[in-house]
């Protein structure tokens, strides 16, 4: 199972003075169970790209194949695609609207046509998956903390049993512990439920820690598509497009320049520590 | 130097009521908070979500008023309704989402909106707009439409809008949470420059520890109380304590702390890349 994106182009307001090419010649192959990060400065095309992956936006040209089927084929069921490819928007807690947490999470599966009982089973399973405490299942979602609200919003998407989970900046505005909890949870979901995860993030430190493959967007195109280590080795080019490497990568380069013979590939605190200890101890 | 913010035992509670107006629950957002900020300081406030940081910030700008205790902003009591306008001019606020703060369709008009509202003469408005936009490095964009700017640029326009009110103090509530790394740097250096060159007092609320290493003083909040305060070096030397309070330290500080645990003899509270490199080079030359 996979997603294949072939020569995808998207133009906003074509034929007008406001015409903007938001995506250009995107080619991607996403395999089952991958943990992918997408980074890029504001306006680089990240959000436009992920909205194509579940058919919310239709490409101007090019194609998308989900498990071998062309999603632009006449008669292709886009509704089902949207449940298979779950999209968690930025600040998803702003989209909570029901009177209880349980009702909010049940909303998606009920829309899929499940009856009350099945919807509740799904809701309980996904609330457990996001480690949401059972005693608050029937509280109003509006009285929860920011981190808890976000868990409920993610559970709402999980309850539709997606095969691919796309999260657009899921940690923006959360404190460091909330940040780690959400990312650990997503990482767990991928391991235990074999979900493919695509994480859009402005935090270079977060993507370095969690993802296996990192896609860098710039000007609507893909600039790099590689391991985080390989991508962050281009830290100078990244700075030119509004991005950076994690702080520790800069430390490693500065150490090498100062004559300490370290390998400069580290992108996380743990990797940097191991390398410095190896050289200095 | 005089105190621009002087809080003594301030208490603020959010009261939840049911449909009939009966009290359902009380949440103490600020619990006996004392806070002193000197004029010209760069202060950072850290704390987990829900610890009371934003509630405190809104008090400094008289958007909220303490239920108990006193809060003086530039010597004016925030409980005195006659002073509210003066307090809001003294202490301007910048919020998280730049799109919620920009109202005009041209950058310079947006920045001029505040002074126009309080009846400043037109010539003076233009002088202020120019000066404010220059101070955040956005003068070049004065004729642009704000919705074509990047997040970092929009946030700097929002800061210029506050500067045009000639405040003594500027409070920023997670101004970089929605920005990409370079946007974050742009906003941070604009804020540091206002503090260093124009002597504006800065109160910065953030979840990014790296943004606080240049502050004079850090306050850490939890459950409505100030639980730690000190210089960045003092605060970030207490790595384990911070972790217990759901916080963290800048990545460089964390690396130094891990290296120390692994047996390298490094000083506590390393804050910047440069400090770490210097310390490691010394270590390597003595080996």
In chain A, residues with a C-beta closer than 8 Å to the C-beta of B250 are: 247
Q: Is residue B181 scored above 70 in pLDDT? A: yes
Q: Does B119 touch chain A (CB under 8 A)?
A: no
- The pLDDT of residue A207 is 95
pLDDT in tens, A133-189: 999 999 999 888 777 898 999 999 999 999 999 999 998 888 888 888 889 999 998
Give domain status of residue A70, yes or no: no
In chain B, residues with a C-beta closer than 8 Å to the C-beta of A145 are: 49-50
Chain B: residue nearest A253 by CA? B277
| Coil/strand/helix, residue B235 | helix
Nearest-Cα distance to chain A for B283, in Å, is 8
Q: Is residue B243 scored above 80 in pLDDT? A: yes
Using CB atoms, pick whichever of A178, A202, A258 lies closest to residue B281: A258
- The pLDDT of residue B31 is 95
pLDDT bucket at B1, cuts 50 / 70 / 90: low
In chain B, residues with a C-beta closer than 8 Å to the C-beta of A174 are: 49, 207
- The pLDDT of residue B17 is 81
Give domain status of residue A259, yes or no: yes
Nearest-Cα distance to chain A for B183, in Å, is 7
Q: Does B213 touch chain A (CB under 8 A)?
A: no
Give domain status of residue B261, yes or no: no
**Interatomic CA distance for residues A137 and B159, integer angstroms:** 41
The 3-state secondary structure of chain A reads CEEEEEEEEEEECCCCCCCEEEEEEEEEEEECCCEEEEECCCCCCHHHHHHHHCCCCCCCEEEEEECCEECCCCCCCHHHHHHHEEEECCCHHHHCCCCCHHHHHHHHHHHCCCCHHHHHHHHHHHHHHCCCCHHHCCCCHHHCCHHHHHHHHHHHHHCCCCCEEEEECCCCCCCHHHHHHHHHHHHHHHHHHCCEEEEECCCHHHHHHHCCEEEEEECCEEEEEECHHHHHCCHHHHHHCCCCCCHHHHHHHHHHHCCCCCCCCCCCHHHHHHHHHHHHC
Q: Is residue B103 scored above 70 in pLDDT? A: yes
A212: Cβ contacts below 8 Å, ≥ 6 apart? A34, A35, A36, A227, A228
- Sheet strand arrangement including B68-73: B23-38, B3-17, B68-73, B76-77
Give domain status of residue A160, yes or no: no
Chain A: residue nearest B246 by CA? A177
Give domain status of residue A266, yes or no: yes
In chain A, residues with a C-beta closer than 8 Å to the C-beta of B280 are: 255, 258, 260, 276, 280
Give domain status of residue A116, yes or no: no
Give domain status of residue A227, yes or no: no
Residue A251 contacts residue B277 (beta carbons within 8 Å): yes
Element (H, E) at B158: helix B151-163
Give domain status of residue A8, yes or no: no
Number of structural domains (chain A) is 1
Q: Is residue A1 scored above 70 in pLDDT? A: no
Using CB atoms, pick whichever of B47, B152, B181 lies closest to residue A243: B181
Nearest-Cα distance to chain B for A92, in Å, is 14
What is the mean pLDDT of the segment spanning A92-119? 92
What is the mean pLDDT of the segment spanning B67-88? 95
Q: Whole domain around residue A271: which residue ranges?
A: 246-281
Number of structural domains (chain B) is 1
**Interatomic CA distance for residues A271 and B70, integer angstroms:** 49
Give domain status of residue B45, yes or no: yes
- ipTM for the predicted complex comes to 0.84
Q: Is residue A103 scored above 90 in pLDDT? A: yes
Q: Whole domain around residue B110: which residue ranges?
A: 3-232
Residue B194 contacts residue B160 (beta carbons within 8 Å): no
What is the mean pLDDT of the segment spanning A34-53? 93
Nearest-Cα distance to chain A for B58, in Å, is 17
Of the two residues B100 and B142, the one the predictor is more confident about is: B142
| Coil/strand/helix, residue B151 | helix
- A-B CB pairs within 8 A amount to 121
Q: The CATH number of the domain where B209 resides is what? A: 3.40.50.300
Using CB atoms, pick whichever of B48, B251, B252 lies closest to residue A177: B48
Give domain status of residue A261, yes or no: yes
Q: Is residue B287 scored above 80 in pLDDT? A: no
pLDDT bucket at B286, cuts 50 / 70 / 90: confident
Using CB atoms, pick whichever of B177, B183, B248 lies closest to residue A172: B177
- The pLDDT of residue B217 is 96
pLDDT in tens, A8-22: 999 998 888 888 899
Q: Is residue B107 scored above 80 in pLDDT? A: yes
Q: Does B23 touch chain A (CB under 8 A)?
A: no
- The pLDDT of residue A57 is 94
Record: contact A242-B273, CB cut-off 8 A: no
Nearest-Cα distance to chain B for A222, in Å, is 17
| Strand-pair partners of B47 | B221
Per-residue b/e over A160-178, b at no fewer than 16 CB within 10 Å? bbbbbbbbbbbbbbbbbbb
- The pLDDT of residue B16 is 79
Query: What is the residue-averaged pLDDT of chain A?
Result: 93
Give domain status of residue B285, yes or no: no
């Amino acid at each position: 199972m996979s997603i294949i994106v072939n020569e995808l182009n998207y133009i906003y307001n074509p034929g007008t003075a406001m015409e903007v090419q938001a995506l250009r010649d995107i080619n991607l192959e996403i395999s089952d169970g991958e943990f992918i990060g997408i980074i890029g400065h504001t306006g680089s095309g990240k959000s436009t790209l992920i909205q194509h992956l579940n058919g919310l936006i239709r490409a101007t040209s090019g194609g998308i194949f989900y498990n071998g089927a062309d999603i632009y084929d006449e008669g292709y069921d886009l509704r089902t695609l949207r449940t298979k490819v779950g999209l968690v928007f930025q600040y998803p807690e702003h989209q909570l609207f029901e009177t209880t947490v349980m009702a909010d999470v049940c909303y998606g599966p009920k829309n899929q046509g499940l009856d009350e009982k099945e919807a509740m089973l799904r809701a309980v399973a996904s609330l457990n998956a996001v480690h949401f405490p059972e005693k608050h299942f029937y509280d109003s979602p509006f009285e929860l903390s920011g981190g808890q609200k976000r868990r409920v919003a993610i559970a709402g998407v999980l309850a539709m049993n997606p095969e691919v989970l796309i999260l657009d900046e899921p940690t923006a505005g959360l404190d460091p512990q909330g940040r780690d909890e959400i990312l650990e949870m997503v990482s767990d979901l991928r391991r235990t439920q074999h979900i493919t995860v695509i994480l859009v993030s402005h935090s270079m430190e977060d993507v370095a820690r969690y993802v296996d493959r990192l896609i860098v967007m710039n000007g609507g195109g893909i600039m790099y598509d590689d391991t985080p280590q390989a991508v962050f080795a281009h830290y100078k080019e990244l700075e030119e497009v509004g991005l950076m490497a994690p702080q520790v990568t800069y430390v490693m380069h500065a150490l090498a320049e100062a004559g300490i013979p370290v390998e400069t590939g580290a992108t996380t605190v743990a990797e940097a520590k191991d390398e410095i200890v190896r050289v200095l101890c | 130097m005089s105190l621009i913010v002087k809080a003594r035992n301030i208490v603020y509670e959010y009261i939840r009521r049911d449909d009939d107006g009966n009290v359902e629950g009380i949440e103490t957002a600020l619990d006996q908070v004392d806070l002193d900020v000197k004029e010209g300081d760069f202060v950072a406030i850290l704390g987990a979500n829900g610890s009371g940081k934003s509630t405190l910030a809104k008090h400094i700008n008289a958007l909220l008023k303490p239920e108990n205790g006193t809060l003086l902003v530039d010597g004016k009591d925030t409980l005195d309704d006659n002073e509210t306008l003066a307090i809001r001019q003294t202490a301007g606020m910048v919020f998280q989402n730049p799109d919620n703060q920009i109202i005009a369709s041209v950058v310079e008009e947006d920045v001029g909106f505040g002074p126009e509202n309080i009846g400043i003469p037109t010539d003076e408005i233009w002088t202020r707009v120019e000066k404010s936009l220059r101070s955040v490095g956005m003068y070049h964009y004065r004729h642009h439409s704000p919705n074509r700017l990047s997040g970092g640029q929009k946030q700097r326009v929002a800061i210029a809008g506050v500067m045009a009110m000639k405040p003594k103090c500027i409070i920023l509530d997670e101004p970089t949470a929605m920005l990409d790394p370079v946007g974050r740097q742009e906003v941070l250096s604009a804020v540091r420059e206002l503090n260093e060159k124009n002597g504006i007092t800065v109160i910065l609320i953030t979840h990014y520890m790296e943004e606080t290493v240049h502050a004079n003083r850090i306050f850490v909040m939890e459950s409505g109380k100030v639980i730690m305060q000190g210089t960045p070096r003092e605060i970030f030397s207490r790595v384990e304590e911070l972790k217990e309070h759901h916080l963290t330290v800048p990545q460089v500080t964390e690396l130094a702390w891990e290296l120390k645990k692994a047996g390298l003899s490094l000083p506590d509270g390393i804050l910047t890349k440069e400090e770490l490199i210097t310390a490691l080079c010394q270590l390597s030359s003595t080996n």
